[in-house]
Structure 1
């Protein structure tokens, strides 16, 4: 796996222009430890900093690209992992993207229009379907989670977002300003792509 300095850089591929506290919440590393690594990375030029927020720089990305094949060699050579990521891409990932579209729009009079969330029954059906996909995702990704515990953290965060959405905080389905299902899913997908060396589907 990645040593602490590179892991700090990796965290910035999951949320750019972020404070250490935000990154710590994503990857489960103590904030002080992550902040120290980011300060070192700023000093060596692999990250950029502005007003307490960090962003990975070109040399940081090059360092990660060079490190990933070795750091994740065992994981990338696993047939079970390859099968799991394929099932993820062709199954639950497409399902969650489709449900996000259904959440954001709805068909009225044969036309797709923005969902104004005035129909709680429609919204509840979508949230219920999202919950079933998240449950299935935990099973699909188990071979990868067994090799990389960060996957379980993503799944826990997805569950937390779902619980808030079920409780009426609808921003937690696809809102961009909170750790919504959509936001956490995007971060998890990015992490999976970097673990496995795959490209993000167009």
Structure 2
């Protein structure tokens, strides 16, 4: 049976929740939608008080209001009931939680390199043994992530792509582009990871921090 394809109207609302401060083009690219259609649906959602548009300097994007978060969670819950996927997503979230703790530790190790005199010393990336250990841990987490998301992708199309995006970011790190580990400005390992976490929380209606 092919994976369930979510309603574009639902994805236009869900996109800002998962992606954060998101443009119509970014939402459209993530879910394979038409950019103009996404923009039209966002404008409709805005009239209902579900999303708001904000501009900062040269950037602009959409985000959910509290009412929009509630509506998004209602729709995601309805989709789970429609597809019978609630148990599958709940199980995947349960497997993700310990991975998330490991990922947080690995990201800390990428950012900090403690010394005998400075336990919070920044990692200057001159200790290749330290960085290689971190990168091996990131690669292992990528394989574990795929084991969690692959069953989800076979059920819900909108949950596809996370493992591939993570692997693509890690490949860029392997080619010396260090910012692809944790930069919020690109589709880094960290960006992909937190988006999946937010996707699972929104889908199951769990408040961030309540699954730690």
TM-score exceeds 0.5: yes
Which of 44-53 and 147-156 deviates more?
44-53
1:37 is aligned, of 36, 41, 63, to 41
Structure-1 residue corresponding to 2:191: 183
For normalisation by structure 2, the TM-score amounts to 0.83
2:106 is aligned, of 99, 113, 120, to 99
2:85 is aligned, of 49, 60, 75, to 75
Pair 1:55 & 2:63 matched? yes
Pair 1:7 & 2:11 matched? yes
CA RMSD in angstroms comes to 2.1
Structure-2 residue corresponding to 1:193: 201
Per-residue deviation, 1:118: 2.2
Per-residue deviation, 1:17: 2.5
For normalisation by structure 1, the TM-score amounts to 0.86
- Report if the CA contact (8 A) 2:112-2:123 is conserved: yes
Structure-2 residue corresponding to 1:170: 178
> Which structure 1 segments of 5+ residues have no match?
none
